[in-house]
Amino acid sequence: MPLRIVLAEDRASSREALTALMKCRGFMVAGAAADGRGAVGLCAQLQPEVAVLDFDIPSMNGPAVAAEIQRVAPDTSTVALSVRRGQARVVEALRAGVRGYVLKTSAVGDLLDAIQEVSGGRIYLSPRISGRLLTAFLSKPELPADPL
């Protein structure tokens, strides 16, 4: 049985392209929304394995959408799609319950890898994001005794 995905993207052309890409990879886009409230409603109704969210979507901010999806569909893993790569934004997303963070400027393979990883209970960060977070972490003068 294919992974069921809810996709939230405000641009219709991007929704269509992402849906086609996911279908080619064997995923099933069970529902698609153009805003955050629609995404939350679809996740509550459909209980998909994965929600892929444009993190700059209208009607609710990305972290609020992710947190609300965790409330209404606790078994749904969320992947954020964003153009923002700042450390604070990524940390905010992870604290809101996001399990994957993919830059929109990354290869589409990153998104497909993220979907696979989070559906298996793992966390996925685009390579450019993970490198920046690791650099920021290592630059702190005092590291925890056992950071892992």
109 within some domain: yes
CA 63 to chain centre: 10
In sequence order, the 6+-apart residues with CB closer than 8 A to the CB of 92 are 63
56 within some domain: yes
Sheet holding 98-103, edge to edge: 28-33, 4-8, 50-54, 77-82, 98-103, 124-125
Count of domains observed in the chain:
1
10 within some domain: yes
15 within some domain: yes
Cβ-contact 101, 125 below 8 angstroms: yes
8 within some domain: yes
Question: What tens digit of pLDDT does each residue of 58-110 get?
Answer: 888 899 999 999 999 999 999 999 887 777 888 889 899 999 999 988 878 89
| Residue 94, domain extent | 4-138
Res 148 pLDDT > 50:
no
Q: Which two tokens stand for residue 75?
A: 């078994």
145 within some domain: no
146 within some domain: no
Instruction: Give the predicted TM-score (pTM) of the model.
Output: 0.87
CATH code of residue 43: 3.40.50.2300
97 within some domain: yes
